[in-house]
Chain A
């Protein structure tokens, strides 16, 4: 770069970015130490006061070195740009985030709901934008991508919605968990009517999400080849458990899918759809939600998993609050630490050790402002 002489502001923002980037890499103890040392910096983060971050020595977390990391962008819900540029700006912000990661993640998971109403203009816009992601992108499908043409265009653009792959000793399974039993034929709904019903959360017309028998059979076969000691990471758009049925925060055949995963020692499910900080553990399976770039959902009135530490309720006056992207650190042990990169807030890491200890260790910071 040619700009040898950088202004104080430029330096300030570079240091500030490095500081907050560093925070994401800290374990809890180191974070407290750094936070104490530089409380003024944290307090000043909204004030844009020129001050130096150089005092801060970002320490790497001890003993839990990741085997590798991957990043995620999820639930971008794109409309065409001329109709809604806000959501477009949000996905671009996320792409900047993951492209700015140093070191670069091994790949970027896209968590589904790329489009808002499954329309060609929306899906193609998303595909175009995701081309500018530097790391390889692994795609997953969401219900908003699917129910206009039942996944036809999505498959043309991105391939099969369910697949598996191995990466550095971890077996990955990607599911299409948003299939629904036919509720449209009998009602004589047009494709767009069907799409709009699925796109709404609080209507009882649509069916519940499911992986379905066919895909479960495929999954069973796929997992048969995998050693039970191999860490397994599953990507599904809906949470692979039963959280809140009225909003389809739910997978109807979750129990059957979990049964397939039971024989494995270390299983992690990373899911989208719920647009919130969401944490669960069922026996050997750890579950983490992903943030949306478009909007946060409120926590459901019941069924919230006990291990979930809620995120502060979003400020409606701030366009990006409660939204974001994130990163997953796959540890040597096969557990994962899940980073929620909440835009305009301190990042929050939910550690594998927190879930493994049943919430006794490494609890994420508690919320100041829970949902009403």
Chain B
């Protein structure tokens, strides 16, 4: 998989986003700490000829596709060309920004070989353009400041790909920690998780030990199907804890996932591990 493939996937997601897929919001009450405002939307300009306008994941860049009307579907080849052009435009705006090359495909433990894909993804094509990839991922020095200096260039101020400050980083870290802490609270509180017999998660999993989030998805023999971490969280809530399983969007479930993953920082992902 090359970076092109990743881009294409990104563009595809945006296409459906622009197509008006509403984000489901949870009706369940959430603690004050986890209140979120409505997610921002990328408003793409309207084509005066009624052409399809595709927005990029940066929330700014867009491209009018000549010859394809709004409401029509791109062919696979057209979509690849559009995503390539959008990426080129982004690279021009962010000349020194890093773009991680996609990792090679891995297979679940116990599987000998990845199944052959019927349609090789676009990513197998050679990338047309693109600067050198810099080591170390995105940093504050990834080019935002340089871009800012150039007059007349549209600056992505405060954008995560470009310029961000220590304060930004502190805010992000604190928000993440708040989310994790809320998970810690729910994990340690039989009432908060909806238990009826006073059993809480930490009673068998101190520090979220033996929850092994890195092994999911995996085939859970006892369930007779492939399970995600949240399926197992809900299994425990229903059985040892004797509560009602939480809905996918329930802020308590999301927070517990955050807490459990945070405890396993640095652990190698090994999906499918028995």
Interface residues of A (CB under 8 A from B): 79, 83-86, 116, 200-202, 246-247, 295-298, 300-301, 313, 315-317, 319, 369, 371-372
How far, in angstroms, from A202 to B204 measured CA to CA in the complex? 11
Interface window among B4-12, B86-94, B149-157, B209-217 = B209-217
How far, in angstroms, from A315 to B199 measured CA to CA in the complex? 17
CB of B241 to closest CB in A, whole Å: 11
Contact between chains at A201 and B212 (CB < 8 Å): no
Task: List A contacts of B212 (CB < 8 A).
Answer: 372
How far, in angstroms, from A247 to B203 measured CA to CA in the complex? 12
Q: Besides the contacts A202-B206, A315-B222, what 13 more A-B pairs have beta carbons closer than 8 Å?
A: A79-B197, A79-B198, A84-B197, A85-B197, A86-B197, A200-B202, A201-B202, A297-B204, A300-B209, A301-B209, A313-B210, A316-B232, A369-B274
Contact with A along B186-204 (1 / 0, CB 8 A): 0010000000011100111
CB of B233 to closest CB in A, whole Å: 11
Task: List B contacts of A369 (CB < 8 A).
Answer: 274
Task: List A contacts of B261 (CB < 8 A).
Answer: none
Contact between chains at B236 and A316 (CB < 8 Å): yes
Is B235 at the interface (CB under 8 A from chain A)?
Answer: yes
Contact between chains at B206 and A297 (CB < 8 Å): yes
Contact between chains at A84 and B199 (CB < 8 Å): yes
Query: Which residue of A has the minimal Cβ distance to B205?
Result: A298
Task: List B contacts of A371 (CB < 8 A).
Answer: 209-210
Contact between chains at B198 and A84 (CB < 8 Å): yes
Is B207 at the interface (CB under 8 A from chain A)?
Answer: yes
Contact between chains at A201 and B206 (CB < 8 Å): yes
Interface residues of B in 230-274 (CB under 8 A from A): 232, 235-236, 239-240, 274
* Residue of A84, A200, A372 contacting most chain B CB atoms (<10 Å): A372
Interface of B is mostly: loop
How far, in angstroms, from A369 to B202 measured CA to CA in the complex? 21
Task: List B contacts of A298 (CB < 8 A).
Answer: 204-206, 209-210
Partner of B204, one of A85, A295, A301, A315: A295
Partner of B235, one of A86, A297, A316, A372: A316
How far, in angstroms, from A295 to B197 measured CA to CA in the complex? 14
Contact between chains at B240 and A372 (CB < 8 Å): no
Task: List B contacts of A297 (CB < 8 A).
Answer: 204, 206
How far, in angstroms, from A202 to B202 measured CA to CA in the complex? 8
Task: List A contacts of B206 (CB < 8 A).
Answer: 200-202, 247, 297-298
How far, in angstroms, from A318 to B66 measured CA to CA in the complex? 61
How far, in angstroms, from A116 to B203 measured CA to CA in the complex? 11
Task: List A contacts of B198 (CB < 8 A).
Answer: 79, 83-84, 116
How far, in angstroms, from A84 to B212 measured CA to CA in the complex? 27
* Residue of A85, A297, A315, A316 contacting most chain B CB atoms (<10 Å): A316
Task: List A contacts of B239 (CB < 8 A).
Answer: 316-317, 319
Q: List 5 A-B contacts (CB under 8 A).
A: A84-B198, A86-B197, A246-B207, A298-B206, A319-B240
How far, in angstroms, from A287 to B190 measured CA to CA in the complex? 34
Task: List A contacts of B222 (CB < 8 A).
Answer: 315, 317
Task: List B contacts of A201 (CB < 8 A).
Answer: 202, 206
* Residue of A86, A202, A300, A301 contacting most chain B CB atoms (<10 Å): A202
How far, in angstroms, from A297 to B207 measured CA to CA in the complex? 11
How far, in angstroms, from A298 to B215 measured CA to CA in the complex? 17
How far, in angstroms, from A38 to B188 measured CA to CA in the complex? 46
Query: Which residue of B has the minimal Cβ distance to A77?
Result: B203
How far, in angstroms, from A298 to B201 measured CA to CA in the complex? 13
Query: Which residue of B has the minimal Cβ distance to A275?
Result: B204
Task: List B contacts of A300 (CB < 8 A).
Answer: 209
Contact between chains at A296 and B204 (CB < 8 Å): yes
How far, in angstroms, from A371 to B215 measured CA to CA in the complex? 13
Task: List A contacts of B232 (CB < 8 A).
Answer: 316
Query: Which residue of B has the minimal Cβ distance to A246?
Result: B207
Task: List A contacts of B274 (CB < 8 A).
Answer: 369
